[in-house]
Amino acid sequence: MTRIAQHIHDGNWEALTLALSQMTNSEFRRNESVVRKTLSDVDSDLFWQAYLHLLQYRHQAFLTCILSIRRSAGKEAVSFSSDAAKETAAWIHANIPESAVKIARMALPLIGDETRAEAMLSLLCEDRWGEWCDVLAKEDSALAYYLLFKALRHADNHQLARRMCLTLIGRGSDMAFNMANIIKVYFGLDDIRSNFAIHIEPYELNYLETSFDNFSHFLQGKRPKI
């Protein structure tokens, strides 16, 4: 185990900071990958404690260490609701608030579970629904679009819904186009003109809310399961 990895495993942040500060630029760059590899192997609290100290030391270099959750994102190895996670998020919001959305965008594709994805967004974007939508609209997946739909319902903001609809129309993928259709019909955006492949009947809108399964059927251009 390298010296850097040992400091992280020991939770010795003073020694970690000292070791990093004594490195040349080339040594620092080489050790960035060591840090990321080490973070992928630690438990949840140690991950967040280490991530916080790395961001405090040099956030420009270590922002992407959130990608270290890749190996554990599908499991419950990293919690987004723990005290350690909340402490890290509080520091981000207080010191580098513009980075919260960047971190959320990097983390989202690694999480394939609705509950954990919502916990991550709640942690980093809190209840700022515009930020939720901006993060989710970047990801062309059924889960991201379902969460986008839920975020727009929470926001209840006609202009935000319109902006998301136009953004998705411009993307060009079949799923994005179907999502734009859902937003247009559900939120009554009658001023938006586009030739959607599937027509959603008013009575079918209730089925969008019932389950991810029904919602994903619409995204695939299919009728809902009634």
Q: Give CA–CA dist 107/70, Å, rounded.
A: 8
> In which band, very low, low, confident or very high, does the pLDDT at 202 lie, cut at 50, 70 and 90?
confident
Q: Give CA–CA dist 187/8, Å, rounded.
A: 49
pLDDT in tens, 116-172: 999 999 999 999 999 999 999 999 999 999 999 999 999 999 999 999 999 999 988
| Side-chain half-sphere exposure of 187, counting CA atoms within 13 A | 27
Look at 6-15, 82-91, 203-212 and tell me which has the smallest mean pLDDT. Answer: 203-212
Look at residues 121, 11, 17 and name the one whose alpha carbon lies nearest to residue 62. Answer: 17
What pLDDT score does 4 carry? 94
> In which band, very low, low, confident or very high, does the pLDDT at 13 lie, cut at 50, 70 and 90?
very high
Of 74 and 4, the one with more pLDDT = 4
What pLDDT score does 112 carry? 86
> In which band, very low, low, confident or very high, does the pLDDT at 197 lie, cut at 50, 70 and 90?
low
Is residue 182's pLDDT more than 70? yes
Which CA distances in Å does 100 have to 52, 116, 148?
13, 17, 18
The mean of the pLDDT values for the chain is 91
What pLDDT score does 223 carry? 65
pLDDT in tens, 28-48: 999 988 999 999 989 999 999
pLDDT in tens, 64-105: 999 998 876 555 678 999 999 999 999 999 999 999 999 999
Is residue 16's pLDDT more than 90? yes
